[in-house]
Chains A and B, each alone.
Chain A
Amino acid sequence: MRAVCWKGKGRVEVSTVPDPAILNPNDSIVRVSLTAICGSDLHIYGGYIPTMKEGDVLGHEFMGEVVETGSAVRNLKKGDRVVVPFAIACGQCYFCRRGETSLCDNTNPNAWMADALYGESGAGLFGYSHLYGGYRGGQAEYVRVPFSDFGPIKVPEGLSDEQVLFLSDIFPTGYMAAENCNIQRGDTVAVWGCGPVGLFAVKSAYLLGAERVIAIDRFRERLDAAAIWNADVLNYQDVDVLEWLKDATGGRGPDSCIDAVGMEAHGRSLSAVYDRTKQAMMLQTDRPTALRQVIQACRKGGVVSIPGVYGGVVDKFPLGAAFAKGLTFRMGQTHVHKYLKPLLDRIQKGEIDPSFVISHRLHLDKASHGYEIFRAKEDKCIKVVMKP
């Protein structure tokens, strides 16, 4: 089959690799009908995620048709059209039973690696390094889906692939980011980063009752998209973000702040230059430029919600500001499974059309081009979907 393979820093290639096979009784094989490149794939592309091996199949946002099921699979059958969550969860462990499926105890065969790095391991992920299990990803013609009785959700007739694909990751991720803000009536929520996750966070904050959402980015097309979803938009290259936010909230600051940027923040401040230099010299793994501003901006007693991915250690983390203002931090990989049904319902009711974020539709063979323009934000690229 054809699959998007990681070939080293800044290089992906569509190669022919062996078809996946059923290895465990709870596995299914899915023929991919639509897949996407995630912002977090760019961290791998840029060489920031350790334990990648040349030839690893990328991709954790995908959907398709079940073509084969293992002997223990009861909930799926051949021909079912499904969306697959990016985190692999067993559905049985302490964490899964609490709905915290991205913290699943039982799906990362390389748990010892994460244990050494982080003190414990979360769930295995599709196509996201050996640290997260070494599972082959979904930017391919076929994928082996482990624990398939628990993960995938069947898609009802009448909804297009483009409308439901993002249930696999970015819609639940933006939604959980907003849910983590514990939004109350009258709240103002500020969102740093108007990539796809930031856009879904904007929309979700409104769905959860925010009074006002402020979206911050530097790319016109992304700010325009946020504005269409009713955000007040802010180009951080044109204004002093902290001053603007203070002014907009009568000096108090946003009630909650979402960092939808993560470890590769750009920015143009002195601290951004400092971070880029240190990261380049391998003195720190992540650039927390946006996160520092988020902490500085957030109102006293507010919530800092972090859907943006961080992988290692950061410098100059303003813990004093966080402490002085009594902030609450919520973060982590998304517990996709618990959001599948409620968010599918919202799509069916027409409350949101996730396909709104798609800017580019490519054939899988053009993946290399897709990665390039997505990373460079060329050609007004916001979200790339690919058909095998």
Chain B
Amino acid sequence: MKRKKTLAIIAGTAAIGVAGAAYAKKRQRYSGIKMKKSIVIDRSPAELYTFWRNLENVPQIVDIIESIQVRDEKRSHWTAIGPAGLRMTWDTEITTDRENEMIGWRSVDGSMLETAGYIRFEPALGGRGTVVRVALEYSPPAGRVGGTIASILGKNPGSHLDQALRRFRQKMEAGEIARA
């Protein structure tokens, strides 16, 4: 239950009132790292949702995600890769799935990495495509696992999200990801 509330916090501005109390509680337990970013993509919410809902597409746009294996409608197995082939894996489940609007997920209980996130697709003003908003939260545990996460994410964790959104746009608008 606590976890669901955590997701609600990051899952939407609409939920802020409800989640306020849970937020304070959570802070006592661990310090979650949050990041969010948005981008305008000149495609319809439906096209963007469809790409993202097939989670196996995601590794092409997120550099630190090596693979995502979809187990069933909700569950998937994620593998992140960092420098020198450093890997870590965890399982997630989709907690919110509103067609063409939003997908929310979180790591399942007992995962090595405690994480949650969402992606929303909002029609941009003036029919100019879609505003894509992503928010992520993760809680690095202490010790070796925390060290692995830090190595994978590097000095500027937010840059992976920024890069991922730009690549998402490249893929959806230009059909391929720019490479030099």
- The chain A residues found within 8 Å of chain B, CB to CB, are 23-26, 72, 88, 90-94, 97, 105-112, 115, 124, 133-136, 146-147
Complexed CA–CA distance, A107 and B174 (Å) = 9
A105/B176 in contact, CB under 8 A: no
Chain B, residue nearest A130 (CB) = B180
Q: Provide 24 A-B residue pairs closer than 8 Å at the C-beta atoms, listed in order of the A residue.
A: A24-B177, A24-B179, A26-B174, A26-B176, A72-B175, A91-B174, A93-B42, A93-B169, A93-B173, A94-B42, A94-B129, A106-B174, A106-B178, A107-B178, A108-B178, A109-B180, A112-B162, A124-B178, A133-B178, A133-B180, A135-B180, A136-B180, A146-B178, A147-B174
A111/B173 in contact, CB under 8 A: no
A109/B175 in contact, CB under 8 A: no
CB distance from B35 to the nearest CB of A (A): 14
B170: Cβ under 8 A from any A Cβ: yes
Q: Mark B77-115, 1 if CB is under 8 A from A, else 0.
A: 000000000000000000000000000000000000000
CB distance from B9 to the nearest CB of A (A): 27
Chain A, residue nearest B162 (CB) = A112
Contact of B163 among A106, A112, A146 (CB under 8 A): A112
A90/B159 in contact, CB under 8 A: no
Contact size range, B: 10 to 19
Chain A, residue nearest B163 (CB) = A112
A90/B174 in contact, CB under 8 A: yes
Contact of A106 among B40, B129, B169, B180 (CB under 8 A): B169
* Nearest 10 A/B pairs, CB to CB: A90-B174, A134-B180, A106-B174, A106-B170, A92-B173, A109-B178, A135-B180, A24-B176, A23-B179, A93-B173
Q: Mark B156-168, 1 if CB is under 8 A from A, else 0.
A: 0001001100100
Complexed CA–CA distance, A112 and B170 (Å) = 14
Complexed CA–CA distance, A106 and B42 (Å) = 11
Contact of B173 among A23, A105, A112, A136 (CB under 8 A): A105
Contacts of A23 in B (CB 8 A): 179
- The chain B residues found within 8 Å of chain A, CB to CB, are 40, 42, 128-129, 159, 162-163, 166, 169-170, 173-180
Chain A, residue nearest B167 (CB) = A109
Chain B, residue nearest A147 (CB) = B174
Contacts of A109 in B (CB 8 A): 177-180
Interface of A is mostly: loop
Complexed CA–CA distance, A91 and B173 (Å) = 9
Complexed CA–CA distance, A72 and B175 (Å) = 10
A26/B175 in contact, CB under 8 A: yes
Complexed CA–CA distance, A135 and B179 (Å) = 8
Chain B, residue nearest A136 (CB) = B180
Contacts of B129 in A (CB 8 A): 94
Chain A, residue nearest B156 (CB) = A112
Contacts of B159 in A (CB 8 A): 112
Complexed CA–CA distance, A90 and B171 (Å) = 11
CB distance from A120 to the nearest CB of B (A): 11
CB distance from B58 to the nearest CB of A (A): 19
CB distance from B125 to the nearest CB of A (A): 13
Contacts of A72 in B (CB 8 A): 175-176
Starting from the known contacts A72-B176, A90-B170, A147-B174, 16 additional A-B residue pairs (CB-CB under 8 Å) come to A24-B176, A24-B178, A25-B175, A88-B178, A90-B173, A90-B174, A106-B174, A108-B178, A109-B177, A109-B179, A110-B180, A112-B163, A115-B162, A134-B180, A135-B180, A146-B178
Contacts of A97 in B (CB 8 A): 42
CB distance from B27 to the nearest CB of A (A): 30
Complexed CA–CA distance, A134 and B169 (Å) = 20
Contacts of B128 in A (CB 8 A): 94
Complexed CA–CA distance, A106 and B173 (Å) = 8
Complexed CA–CA distance, A24 and B162 (Å) = 22
